[in-house]
Amino acid sequence: MSTTSFLPRWNLEDLFASPTDPAIEEAFARAAEATRTLVTRFKGKLSSVQADGILDLLKQYENALQTITKPATYASLRHATDTRDAEREGFQRRMRERAVSIERDLLWIELELAQLPEAKLKTLLTAPEIAPYKHV
């Protein structure tokens, strides 16, 4: 029995049609644009932002992370179906590097939230609209 018969098989077309699907580039472009918007609107300003603004920040942050995770997940699952295929491995590496690059550009969000004064954090954490993001 061939070892390839034990490899997982998934229909990945729900994620992307192929590694050359233009939707992959579109996802990275959307995430990069969302990152630029977040930097412009919020970077260095979180101490003065109220709960509704923090909610907006967190929703956009979550959306950007989900957007870049999709191509990386697609590449990882695709690679898992044939780990000996160098093209799949290279594609997975490139998708992960691109995702990490955008994640790195968003790192300031968690750092700035962690640096907020304790009184501000307590106020934010008790705001009902922030409850779904309390873990952040």
User: pLDDT averaged over the chain?
Assistant: 92
pLDDT grade for 55, boundaries at 50, 70 and 90: very high
pLDDT grade for 67, boundaries at 50, 70 and 90: very high
Q: State the DSSP code for 8.
A: -
* Average confidence (pLDDT) over 2-10: 64
Tell me, what's the pLDDT at 4? 54
* Average confidence (pLDDT) over 72-88: 95
Cα–Cα distance measured from residue 74 to residue 60, given in angstroms and rounded to the nearest whole number? 22
- Do 105 and 35 touch, CB atoms closer than 8 A? yes
Residue 65 has, within 13 A of its CA and on its CB side, a CA count of: 13
Tell me, what's the pLDDT at 34? 96
Tell me, what's the pLDDT at 3? 52
For residue 57, the surrounding DSSP H or E stretch is: helix 51-80
pLDDT grade for 9, boundaries at 50, 70 and 90: confident
Convert the pLDDT of each residue in 105-114 to its tens digit: 999 999 999 9
114 is written with which tokens? Answer: 């962690």
134 is written with which tokens? Answer: 């309390």
Tell me, what's the pLDDT at 51? 92
Is a pLDDT exceeding 90 seen at residue 71?
yes
Tell me, what's the pLDDT at 1? 44
For the chain, what percent of residues have pLDDT higher than 70? 94
